[in-house]
Amino acid sequence: MTEKQYVYFFGEGTKDMKKLLGGKGANLSEMTNIGLPVPQGFTITTETCIQYYENGQKYPDGLMDQVEKNMKKLEKSMGLNFGDANDPLLVSVRSGAAVSMPGMMDTILNLGLNDKTVAGLIKKTGNKRFGMDSYRRFIQMFGDVVMEVEHAKFEKAIQHIKDKKGVKFDTELTAEDLEELVADYKKIVEKEKGMSFPQEPMEQLKMAINAVFSSWNNKRAITYRNLNDIPHSLGTAVNVQAMVFGNMGDNSGTGVAFTRNPSTGEKKVYGEYLTNAQGEDVVAGIRTPKDLDKLNDEMPEIYKQLMEIFEKLEKHYKDMQDMEFTFQEGRLYMLQTRTGKRTAAAALQVAVDMVKEGLIDKKTAVMRVTPEQINQLLHKQLDKKAKEKANLIAKGLPASPGAAVGKVVFDAETAVKESELYKVVLVRTETSPEDIQGMSVAQGILTARGGMTSHAAVVARGMGKCCVAGCESIKVNEAEQYFTVKNIKINKGDYITLDGSTGEVFLGEIAVVDPELSGNFEIFMGWVDGFRKIGVRTNADTPKDADVARKFGAEGIGLCRTEHMFFEGVRIKAMREMIVAGSVEGRKKALAKLLPMQKEDFTGIFKVMHGLPVTIRLLDPPLHEFLPTEEEDIKEIAKELGMSYEDMKATIVSLHEINPMLGHRGCRLSITYPEICDMQARAIFEAAAELTKAGVKVIPEVMIPVVGIVNEVRILKKQIVEIAHKVMKEYGIEFEFKVGTMIEIPRACITADEIATEAQFFSFGTNDLTQLTFGFSRDDFGKFLPEYLEKGILEKDPFAVLDQIGVGSLIKIAIEKGKSVRKDLKVGICGEHGGEPSSVEFCANLGLNYVSCSPYRVPIARLAAAQAAIKKDEAFLISK
């Protein structure tokens, strides 16, 4: 039986073996294979790490035999011996996951040093300072990473010696100072751990390998993986590599470089270096690194070699590279290369430039930019340097990206009034539709309750507003106009700053940076649409929203919510008159006032979306949402409507529902009060008729919400079609239109074949479909969501990322059943999942006609759809 290979010597692997060798190990092998100066070494595979954990943190059988065998090979290739007192081989031990996680796991340098080998190193090099500097670094790193001695204790010891000698930098300490420091470090280890610092090199190596494997599950690594959607099951590789030394004097050094500027994407090498230093010095900021260009003056031959290698690596990998290098006594070595992390602006610039340079094709460019990077480009952002110094006071859900800075206000009316004087941030326990005007003028919204698809979140994303929702650590006192968090009281008029991309809340003002969409954005999105196969529409309720979305490439409106049109001054009064009317005639009279206003709304939206379909959802929320809840407001509105306070209060009480989400709403309202449906349908079709006469191409699609029974659709469709034909006759003109339904109730999915006999299109309202499938209230879910995620009950928030197994199966059933009776059934999705990349990919693969999302997420959905199409095509080619 062939022994399983746990260890690969550099050169035995390739760059395509990242899953097995980790990114670092695969790339070290690749650089070896293409002839770059790489210090030799070997990689212990990620599979070994996985087995280590599965075996109760014990090595698999045969691992150490393979490590020792490869160590002998390394000794032979370097002409040095590990542990030899006269001519010692020293190694670095580094982590290396399949997906780059910079700085998240652990590294040990100069391993193999002890009291005997350090003497041999000094004798060989004739440089006592170098030997002692290397030994003190090793004890500090090994003590911290492997033996878990508090890092600060070592720092305190070195600072004590620097203060005693009156010097600022480590490099100013003499060999004798460092020798004293080595003795101090060893005493610290003995005091803290009750044992002497390990002197046996092979024991040091085993302990270091253990530490690297253990670092896979350290807190910062787990957090990084959670934030970047990296699976916890991948494991890390361990790279054991012969040491080269940048701290051997002024003709030695170390540095980090990118083949292009990672901030702007400019095609110019960007890097820093230090002479007489080791790698961690550049990163730690103990000394200020020099700009890489200065190396051309100090060591022109090394600089020239670096530039040639950088060009070779970028052409080989066909992407921007992030590299580490060391030069030892005038000789250059490459220690690492990996795909460089970059800003959103840089990602776009690099992708477009590399296509122009012929380095990559458009398909590769489209796959290089992430939907999240497109998201970052579209919203204001906080200045990173200013943010680092700011006072973070709370964290909620990152409901809508961007940045918001303003004075705190606690109600919509104040927001409207005071926004004329200064910028405001609206803070609410939770928002309601009545807050819409306040939300529209606020820089951002902060709520103590609610989730990623709560009212605040959905409306904020639609407006492109920054929003932090479900920030449960804040306690809002709306009556007295303040909120508290961590013993801090923030009053009305105090400044706060929100980061909608992270959910962070800061006290005071932080500078913001406006996004600048370069010409590259249009070029890139043009390529995106060349690969995309699924349509992308927008959720928009106003001509302004529709215009923003169309400029971002929306191909129609997938959801126009009519209820948002009723909350302005004159309209809300007419709406309330309709609700309190005691007869059909009274309701019709009030609705007659709303008809021209509603028609004006649709006219504006149809004009903006000229030639594109517009799906209009009939009235959805329960009527009590349009009535006041505060006593003073009830009295005022009763007086305004010519009613007694008692009658108004009785009406509000009669409309109260135990569970409004499952109550008198959606199609149930139109069936109970057909005059509401009459008014809305007439407004839609009169606007369509008038614009059609004027030469504007209008494609209205009337959507019936909250349907669970085919007869609900049958009754309302008949009513809507009759009104459409009446309006066409009255105007003497014909126009195309459709009547369909929102699928948001599980029963509608199961009986979709019945519903499709009447409905001409399905639009999946995944917010409510998720709510009803799980039995979770989306506004209260935030109270226990953290526990569900932490304990692995849920992988993701199902209101943010579509549950493909449960909700996705219902969608699949509905499509299959619906198309079995209506072959040309148009199918889309209009919940908030329509702008979430993995959900868009699911919809594209399922064969939906379109996804619909808020205006500012349209480019994100376009890119996600293109990437889904490319991945599907590539998977098909592989299967062939």
What tokens were used for 598? 């509603």
56 neighbors 130 (Cβ within 8 angstroms): no
Cross-strand partners of 273: 255, 290
Q: How far is CA 603 from CA 138, 463, 608, 697, in A?
A: 73, 20, 9, 12
3-state secondary structure 289-313: CEEHHHHHHHCHHHHHHHHHHHHHH
* Residue type, position 553, single letter: G
Cross-strand partners of 560: 616
Does 455 qualify as catalytic in the annotation?
yes
Q: 592-626: b or e for each residue (b if 16 or more CB lie within 10 Å)?
A: ebbbeebbebbbbbbbbbeebbbbbbbbbbbbbbb
Distance CA 753, CA 152 (A): 68
Does 749 qualify as catalytic in the annotation?
no
Q: Catalytic pick from 455, 467, 677, 853?
A: 455
What tokens were used for 378? 């579209």
Q: Catalytic pick from 560, 667, 677, 830?
A: 830
* Residue type, position 73, single letter: K
874 neighbors 536 (Cβ within 8 angstroms): no
Distance CA 208, CA 330 (A): 30
Contacts of 729 (CB under 8 A, 6+ apart): none
Distance CA 81, CA 91 (A): 11
Residue 126's region, left for phi above 0, alpha for psi from -120 to 50, else beta, is left
* Of 543, 435, 451, 401, residue with least CA distance to 835: 401
**Tokens 């890097």 -> residue:** 271
Q: How far is CA 276 from CA 126, 243, 247, 302, in A?
A: 16, 15, 4, 15
Distance CA 765, CA 802 (A): 11
Contacts of 103 (CB under 8 A, 6+ apart): 283
**3-state DSSP assignment of residue 697:** coil
Residue 229's region, left for phi above 0, alpha for psi from -120 to 50, else beta, is left
Distance CA 676, CA 830 (A): 23
Q: How many CA atoms lie within 13 A of 139 on its CB side?
A: 30
* Of 621, 727, 602, 618, residue with least CA distance to 674: 618
Distance CA 840, CA 853 (A): 10
**Tokens 């994303």 -> residue:** 461
Torsion of CA 256, 259, 263, 266, to 10 degrees: 150
* Of 459, 477, 500, 504, residue with least CA distance to 408: 477
Contacts of 83 (CB under 8 A, 6+ apart): 89, 112, 117, 200, 201, 202
* Of 799, 795, 770, residue with least CA distance to 782: 799
Q: 544-565: b or e for each residue (b if 16 or more CB lie within 10 Å)?
A: ebbbbbbebbbbbbbbbbbbbb
**Tokens 């506004």 -> residue:** 779
Q: How many CB atoms within 10 Å of residue 429?
A: 15
What tokens were used for 90? 């020293």
Q: How many CB atoms within 10 Å of residue 414?
A: 16
Cross-strand partners of 826: 761
Going by their DSSP bridges, the two strands 91-97 and 107-111 should be labelled as antiparallel
Catalytic sites, residue numbers: 455, 830
